Amino acid sequence: MISDGGGRYVLRLYVTGSTGRSLRAIDNITRIANAHLANNHDLTIIDIYVEPEAARDDQIIAAPTLLRVAPLPRRRILGDLSDEARVLSGLEIDTDAAS
């Protein structure tokens, strides 16, 4: 997998309205992405109530779910994304390179 200097991160966060975890997840991924991916990312927040088709296409089974669309392979992380290390590892972001 090419992770350095390569492709842009495309992230989708599936939430269920304004439930507690969803709200926290939005808050957390926004902060993490800004910290580690700077401008090198596109983050889309998708409410599965509003866009159930998107959830189906992305085979979302629970919410909140953060989906890494690119770079491939796709990766998904469930929960409120409060464990930053786990989020970074799940998204395969090289913290050393980034820092």
Alpha-carbon span 84 to 8, nearest angstrom = 20
| Cα–Cα distance measured from residue 86 to residue 89, given in angstroms and rounded to the nearest whole number | 5
Binder among 7, 31, 62, 95 for another protein (CB under 8 A): 62
Question: 8 or 56, CB closer to another protein?
Answer: 56
Which residue, among 27, 63, 21, 24, has the nearest Cα to 43 in the 3D structure? Answer: 27
Query: 32, 46, 48, 88: which one contacts another protein (CB under 8 A)?
Result: 48
Measured CA to CA, the distance from residue 31 to residue 85 in angstroms comes to 13
Nearest distance, CB of residue 82 and another protein, angstroms: 9
Q: What is the CB neighbour count within 10 angstroms for residue 76?
A: 18
Q: Does 79 bind another protein (CB under 8 A)?
A: yes
Could you tell me the smallest distance in angstroms from the CB atom of residue 97 to another protein?
A: 10
In the complex, which residues of this chain contact another protein (CB under 8 A)?
1, 3, 15-22, 48-49, 52, 55-56, 60-65, 73, 75-80, 90, 92
